[in-house]
Amino acid sequence: MAAPAAAALPCPILLAVCWVVAAAAAAGAKILPSPSNLNYSFIHICTLKWTWNPPENISSSCNLEYSSDIIINGVPEDRREWSKNQFRVTDVHLNEEMHLRVRSECKNDNTSEPSPWVETSLLPKGIPGTAAVDLSCVWHNLEYMACAWRPGEKANSDTNYTLFYWFDGLENPKKCSNSSVDQGIFECIFSLTFPKVTSTYPAISILISDDSEEIRPVCASKNPTTLVKPATPTQLTVSKTNDRIDVKWSESETFPKSCLHYEVKLSNGDLDIGQIIECEMNSVSIPGVDPNSKYTFKVRAKPKRVCYNSDFHSDWSEEKSIGEKRGSTIYFVLIITIPLIVAVSTVILLVYLKRLKILILPPIPDPREILKRMFGEQSEDSQSSAKDDPMNAFDRLIIEEEIHSLILTETSESTKSEKETRETLLYQ
């Protein structure tokens, strides 16, 4: 993309130029003419090249150089450069207001003053607050790079960000197609490999944008050597020989030789508290171990500073244990028996104390309880009788009829005998 011609200087800059010219004229110093025709263009997605023409009428005795500077949102970036070249290549800030300026200087010449600044501007597109934020990338095992970011606070919920990347060696920028969104966090993964013999790695230019013109694009340049994270060591094996334990694990096939070192965590009992053993190779031997103790190991890898300037380390491998913990059976028995003994002793003590209390302080009978029991027993007897009457009603009825018949029979016979006796006495 070609830029327009050099933009007009703002009023403050014009005033400064006039002041410099007046001061230099008063001092009798010669002011150099400024470069001309300052332009910029994109050579890649996030790389900007700006060029200018040399000033005219420069003395042959002048050791001419150009001082170039970048201003972001009105603040100098403190990346001023001096060069004889008539161009400069730099990273671009698409989500911020960017000013590029250049001037002429005669090095080691006290008779001339630097020329006024020539400046051009690169203004951002899109709505402020819609650009992706918190971009972070990790280069996993020198095989692929995973980048994650959050949407801008003013971006719509349906914003579909797209990541493009480029580095020196690619003919054209590439689009990252393996993207996903999880709980508002965007992530994209793309393959990134270089030959093992490579000693230097190019910077990775990353552009995150959207098809909509309302979303402000953002650029970032990443040094891959600072983002290296090795893969988790695998095939961890632990063996014991006499009083020595040998630990071994698989070696990474993607890293150059001697570019990784390892940390082995040895735990004896509590897994949260262990000893860290550092080693350069993919194996370690630990002498003088206790044959009656249990040991647990896990390993992680870290890049060496001589190869990669990265602070990342791999995840811990799965744990491997060897040996038996001393007195594990005794500990198990104690854990079971001690609470049981305490519980039984507590019950016996409570029962004993209760009986002892009864012997020393017998309970005093409550008269109300005695009366309640007496009336309660009588009520129960009457209720019991009432319950029995219906059950034996038929039998009692038969017995009562027999008794009544007997009484009637005996009564009639005695009456007849008395009557006969009276008649006999009367006739006599």
Q: Is the pLDDT of residue 292 over 90?
A: no
pLDDT score, position 200: 85
pLDDT of residue 14: 39
Show the tokens assigned to 185. Answer: 């966090």
Per-residue pLDDT tens over the stretch 160-170: 999 999 999 89
On whether the CB atoms of residues 77 and 37 are closer than 8 A, the answer is: no
Task: Please report the pLDDT score of residue 387 as a whole number.
Answer: 47
Model confidence at 372, in pLDDT bands (50, 70, 90)?
confident
pLDDT (0 to 100) of residue 352: 74
| Phi and psi, residue 336, nearest 5° | -80, -45
Output the pLDDT for position 416. Answer: 46
What's the average model confidence in pLDDT over 120-139?
Answer: 93
Instruction: Name the residue with tokens 């470069």.
Output: 35
| Residue 230 clears pLDDT 90, i.e. is over it | yes
Domain 230-322 part of CATH 2.60.40.10 = yes
pLDDT at 5 over 60: no
- pLDDT recorded at residue 70: 93
State what percent of residues in the chain have pLDDT above 90: 43
When pLDDT is cut at 50, 70 and 90, the band that residue 400 belongs to is low
Would you say domain 11-122 falls under CATH 3.40.50.800?
A: no
- Whether residue 4 is predicted with pLDDT greater than 60 in this model: the reply is no
Which element (helix H / strand E) includes 48? strand 47-53
SS3 398: helix
Taking the model in full, what pTM does it have? 0.66
Indicate the range of 137-146, 173-182, 345-354, 391-400 predicted with least confidence.
Answer: 391-400
Most confident range (mean pLDDT) of 104-108, 188-192, 245-249 is 188-192
Task: List the single range of 24-38, 76-90, 93-107 with lowest mean pLDDT.
Answer: 24-38
**Cβ 97 vs Cβ 73: under 8 Å:** yes
pLDDT > 80? residue 146:
yes
CB of 265 closer than 8 Å to CB of 346: no
pLDDT tens readout for residues 194-220: 887 777 899 999 999 988 889 999 999
Residues 256-283: tens digit of each pLDDT: 888 999 999 988 865 556 789 899 999 9
Residue 303 in this model has a pLDDT that exceeds 80: yes
The mean per-residue pLDDT over the stretch 369-391 comes to 57
Fold entry, domain 133-228? Immunoglobulin-like (2.60.40)
Q: Dump pLDDT digits (tens) for 15-52.
A: 344 444 444 444 456 888 999 999 999 988 999 999 99
List, as one string, the DSSP characters of 267-301: ESS-TTS-EEEEESSSEEEE-S--TTS-EEEEEEE
Residue 177: CA atoms inside 13 Å, Cβ hemisphere, count?
1
Mean of the per-residue pLDDT values for the chain?
Answer: 79
Element (H, E) at 146: strand 144-150
Which residues touch 317 (CB under 8 Å, ≥6 apart)? 232, 233, 234, 236, 249, 298, 299, 300
Match 């953002």 to its residue by tokens. 218
User: Of 109-118, 344-353, 403-412, which gets the smallest average pLDDT?
Assistant: 403-412
Mean local confidence (pLDDT), 124-150: 94
Asked whether the predicted pLDDT for residue 9 surpasses 70, the reply is no
DSSP SS3 for 149: strand
